[in-house]
Chains A and B, each alone.
Chain A
Amino acid sequence: MKELEPSTNEREFLLAALRQSARIDGRNFYDFRTLRLSFGADYGAVEVQLGNTRVMAKVSCEVIRPFQDKPTEGFLMFNTELSPMASSAFEIGRQTDEEVLVSRLIEKAMRRSRALDTEGLCIVAGEKVWSIRVDIHFLDHDGNLVDAACIAAITALLHFRRPDVTVVGEEVTIHTLEQRNPVPLSVHHIPICITFAFFDNGERVIVDPTHLEEQIKEGDMTFTLNVHKEVCALSKAGGIAMEMDQILQCSKIAVVKVTEITAQIQAALDADAKKRQISRK
């Protein structure tokens, strides 16, 4: 179903508000929406709510044969297929531009930045490696799918526990969850995406755009950083031209945001771990 363009009234109201340093939902320019993380009963299931945007990530693993030319490397696969549940503009089988961009950004942020150590997924070189699969389901689209998906994916990978394996010579034993406690994955760093949207020839810059702001924006840029102030990815695909100073300024804002979000993720993971410990006793 084709999506309706925002009306002239909506567009003018949003731009007029921005020129008076206000956003329609009352946020400041550099404020993120309320971020809520909830974990499922199984390890590796996370639901992220960024305002009205809802994304769920589920991590699963299986043992497969590695590529012949990379015998010690495991696999990390992301599935970010957008379903019509998130928005009726998305169709099954036909990938919109937005879908392609979201998929590429997640791959760049997670895989290329080597957030997950794929060498650590090796069980027996050349024969058995772990293949980690992250399914990202988009439930509700109110803008900024990339940031929400990235937070969901990395939190799910941090939350996930894979079965413990012991290798004695040629024999490989994969322990069930009852035999041995499952082991966490080795995540090197936590990449977080921060998306900026530009209006008024680049004069107004906002963080975490809602769906309406995304439809009216003139350009956008996504920074992927971690807490150590390392840039994992920077994506500016089209849109109006931005000056170098503005980009550097955005990077400074992104650092602050990434620190906040990483702290929130850690707090949520710790709270969940404590809850599981109590329920086990």
Chain B
Amino acid sequence: MSRLDRTRTSPHQLRPFFSSQNLLNRADGSAQFDFGGSSVICSVVGPAEVKIRDEKLDRATIEVVARPLVGLPGVKDKTLERCIRETLEPLILSGLHPRTGIQIVLQTMKDDGCIMSTAFNATILALLDAGIPLKSILGSVTCIIDAQSNQILLDPTTEELAQAKSTHVYVFDNKTSIPSKESMDVDRNNEAGILFSDSTGLFTEEEYLECANVCFKAAQAVHGFIRTAVSKKLEKEYQQTQA
């Protein structure tokens, strides 16, 4: 079955990944992540000075700023900021840096659907680049249930999103293993580490759990990609110090 963007054939196929790290000079850490035609740059500054009114005595204050590609920031961007901040607050070991601030800034460079997932992945790469201590990494994918075919389509483009009956964004951590053949259901396996889940539209409980399953498998690819990207970067840095 051919998807609307004509480059993918399977409904469970992700668009090609692309990432780039340490691209900005002023930030402590920065990364760009692409899901096909969607691209988000993230910069991380921290642990750094924080305003007294935002200071927390026993942990670092995490601030997220999201800027859209076109126009002034609106409700969608504020929602993205809040979602990312609330997902990251338990993930970052903020107790190691009390009374400091970690500022995360996101800029959408290209928009072809799944900006929230792209933003999550860019953020985790930037945090790794900045050396912020984390409990685990995360990986995010989006899927939709098509209104006409009732199929689950992974990593939709803007065109596919327009025809969706429901949209689901999942963020998984990398501490849980792939469930075995016997326990394929996410709800039976208590260890499926869902850090964030956002669903809109009309869907049943079975559809939600099935989407979670599909996205969980796809998120493994994202985790693997993040691991490869970071190890390649470290290898290159090591070679530069040797030369």
By a beta-carbon cutoff of 8 Å, the part of chain A in contact with chain B is 1-2, 40-42, 45, 47, 52, 54, 56, 58, 60, 79, 81, 83-88, 92, 133, 135, 137, 139-142
Contact = CB atoms under 8 A, between A and B. Distances in A.
B71 A85 contact: no
Interface string B57-73: 00000000101011110
A87 B45 CA distance: 9
Contacts of A141: 26
Contacts of B48: 1, 88
A238 B110 CA distance: 39
Interface in B1-52: 24-27, 37, 41, 43, 45, 48-49
Given A1-B49, A85-B43, A133 B103 contact: no
Interface in B85-133: 101, 103, 105, 107, 109-110
Contact of B110 (A40, A84, A140): A40
B41 A85 contact: yes
Contact of A54 (B24, B37, B71): B24
Interface residues of B, number: 22
Contacts of A1: 45, 48-49, 101, 103
Given A42-B110, A135-B71, A139-B41, A52 B25 contact: yes
Contact of A133 (B37, B65, B70): B70
B165 to A, nearest CB: 25
Contacts of B43: 84-85, 139
A93 to B, nearest CB: 10
Nearest to B42: A85
Contacts of B65: 83-85, 92
Given A1-B45, A47-B109, 16 more contacts: A1-B103, A60-B71, A83-B65, A83-B67, A84-B45, A85-B43, A85-B67, A85-B107, A87-B26, A133-B70, A135-B69, A137-B67, A139-B43, A140-B25, A140-B26, A142-B26
13 contacts: A1-B48, A1-B103, A40-B110, A56-B109, A79-B72, A81-B67, A83-B67, A83-B105, A85-B43, A88-B45, A92-B65, A133-B70, A135-B71
B49 A41 contact: no
A140 B23 CA distance: 9
Interface string B169-213: 000000000000000000000000000000000000000000000
Nearest to B37: A41
B5 to A, nearest CB: 12
A135 B109 CA distance: 11
Interface of B: 24-27, 37, 41, 43, 45, 48-49, 65, 67, 69-72, 101, 103, 105, 107, 109-110
Given A41-B110, A79-B72, A85 B27 contact: yes
Interface residues of B: mostly helix, strand, loop or mixed? strand
Among B26, B65, B72, B105, the one with the most A-chain Cβ atoms within 10 Å of its Cβ is: B26
Contacts of A142: 25-26
A245 to B, nearest CB: 37
A1 B63 CA distance: 13
Contact of B24 (A81, A133, A137, A139): A139
A142 to B, nearest CB: 6
Nearest to A52: B25
Give 3 nearest A-B pairs by CB, closest first.
A85-B105, A85-B43, A52-B25
A45 B110 contact: yes
Nearest to B51: A1
Contacts of B25: 52, 140, 142
Contacts of B37: 41
B26 A58 contact: no
A212 B213 CA distance: 52
A142 B49 CA distance: 21
Nearest to B68: A135
A58 B110 CA distance: 10
A81 B26 contact: no
Contacts of B110: 40-42, 45
A86 B105 CA distance: 9
Contact of B103 (A42, A60, A88): A88
Contacts of A87: 26
Given A60-B70, A79-B72, A140 B24 contact: yes
